[in-house]
Structure 1
Amino acid sequence: MKIYEAINLGAKELKNICENPKLEAELLLAYCLGMDRINLIIKREDEVEEGELAKFLGLLNMRKSHIPYQYIVKKQHFMGLEFFVDENVLIPRPETEILVEEVLKRVERGNVILDIGTGSGAIAVSISKYFADCTVYAVDISKKAIEVAKYNAEKQGVLDRIFFIESDLFRNLPPNLKFDFIVSNPPYIKRNEIELLQEEVKKEPIVALDGGEDGLFFYKKIIKEAPFYMKSGGKIGFEIGYGQKEEITNFLEKDGFKDIEIIKDLAGIDRVIIAKYKL
């Protein structure tokens, strides 16, 4: 079977599984053949060896069972960087890049930054990669997630600039440590809505999705505890879910945060909230 025939077969198999079946078929076949998508198209008349075809068919079956493409190929691009991802971490989304970009606009030389719920390390690693003159602490309750994040930090050459700590929010942080910036993309899906999510999303770690009964559990907890770990004038930044702006703004104001800014995503949805802590 030629490459273009395998792509057509894959697109047919994935027709009702994803939004762009041909693209995903191309990417999965490129992964099997150890080449990039451009070379796949250039060599479209080349034959696919029997073993490679068998592997490709196996990956198609995995995708048909709604395993996310990123978990199959073990990678996701974020902020122009390639991250290793597996079933132990949430797959980084393009929307989260807005949070990182807004932090990078505001971070200053020598700042100490905390990333809560680091997962794959996408936020912590990206900040450290693009702003070397800061120190980053990254925490996650999952030991396996911390291992993935450390791997990605090493892959991007920033492992020596990030302190990874297995911790339930602030619990295991060094005593008396104060931060200039606390950043988080916490779980924000309402518990009773998890079953309504796409099948692919439900393959991701529940602990990274479940935001409690109202979807706001972690925002409330982080905002309540954050002042004990922040410098006066320090900032806090969150990615937020649809319709959560007002309640999170109220939490922030109640606990001493000022100068609250809301940043929308490309669809015009409130996506990031940043505030300053003042004693």
Structure 2
Amino acid sequence: MRPCPCVEYSETQPIQYEQNLANFMGMDIYVDERVFIPRPETELLVKTVAEMVSLKKSGDEKYLFLEIGTGSGIIPICISKLLPESRIISVDVSRDALSVAKRNIERLVPDSDITLFYSDIFSAVGDIYFEKFDAIISNPPYVSSKDYEKLDAWVKSEPKIALWGGVDGLDYYKKIAENGMKFLKKGGLVGVEVGYDQGLAVKKIFNENSFSNVKSFRDFNNFDRIVIGWKHG
């Protein structure tokens, strides 16, 4: 992971932390040292998944999303704005992050149907949700051990738990791919953000776990940044 142009830095820490403010999809998001600072690449994730879900769905039933690793809450907030008929369950392993997400959700989308759970990926999402979700969406930690050591000190001021994705940076994709299928409806999809050099590896992980039509989408720097896979059958 490399710092992106939207994140400004002082000598000691990102200015977003100093101001407790980040901009995402035209909204002012509260951030502090407990959460990852939103990046523009995640806008592509939100818009791509929302568009694909809306194309495949019909009728009056609510869209049901599972978001893994909510951080500041930007993903469920934006999904609820793009698809107001959505119901979203968002989970995070950090209680601090959930506190920030709650603050942003209550301020920006107070009438939304968003539920926050303390959960390590799927641990708090019980079997009552098997084959219930239209989509699983996540911007998980994806920095490898090698790349983490190379990060600027300013980036390392962000929570390591939101950055580091295991030795190869792929731990969370493996867990999502291995367990996500049973939570998706037939025709449901999984959409994840990936590191700039991880597109092929993540597509391989989802293909190996029986997802269909696995595709990647490029960001404004022409890197594979979003991977989408479908549950068919």
User: Which TM-score applies when normalising by structure 2?
Assistant: 0.90
Kindly indicate whether residue 26 of structure 2 is the aligned counterpart of residue 87 of structure 1: no
Instruction: Give the Å deviation of 1:106.
Output: 1.5
Q: What one-letter code is carried by the residue in structure 1 that aligns with 2:25?
A: M
Instruction: Give the Å deviation of 1:133.
Output: 0.6
5 Å-filtered alignment, 1:246-265, equals: 246-265=200-219
Deviations 1:202-224 (A, max 9, x none): 00000001110001011011110
**Alpha carbons of structure 1 residues 19 and 243: separation in structure 2 relative to 1, 3 Å:** closer
Deviations 1:62-113 (A, max 9, x none): 932x211000000101111111001110000011111011012122362100
| Residue in 1 that maps onto 2:43 | 97
Kindly indicate whether residue 223 of structure 2 is the aligned counterpart of residue 276 of structure 1: no
| Residue in 1 that maps onto 2:74 | 122
User: Which TM-score applies when normalising by structure 1?
Assistant: 0.75
Q: Is the 8 A contact 1:129 1:156 kept in 2?
A: no
Which structure has the bigger radius of gyration? 1
CA distance in structure 1 between the aligned counterparts of 2:174 and 2:160, rounded to whole angstroms: 19
Q: What one-letter code is carried by the residue in structure 1 that aligns with 2:13?
A: I
Which protein has the bigger strand share? 2
Say what the alpha-carbon RMSD is for the aligned residues.
1.9
Aligned length: 221
5 Å-filtered alignment, 1:227-238, equals: 227-238=181-192
**Alpha carbons of structure 1 residues 142 and 246: separation in structure 2 relative to 1, 3 Å:** same
Q: What one-letter code is carried by the residue in structure 1 that aligns with 2:65?
A: I
**Alpha carbons of structure 1 residues 159 and 149: separation in structure 2 relative to 1, 3 Å:** farther
Runs of 4 or more, structure 1, over 4 Å off, are: none
CA distance in structure 2 between the aligned counterparts of 1:174 and 1:136, rounded to whole angstroms: 15
Which protein has the bigger helix share? 1
Instruction: Give the Å deviation of 1:227.
Output: 1.1
5 Å-filtered alignment, 1:174-185, equals: 174-177=126-129, 178-185=132-139
Identity %: 38
5 Å-filtered alignment, 1:58-207, equals: 63-64=10-11, 66-108=12-54, 110-158=62-110, 160-177=112-129, 178-207=132-161
Give the gaps of 5 or more residues in structure 1. 1-17, 25-61
Q: What one-letter code is carried by the residue in structure 2 that aligns with 1:148?
A: V
| Residue in 2 that maps onto 1:51 | none
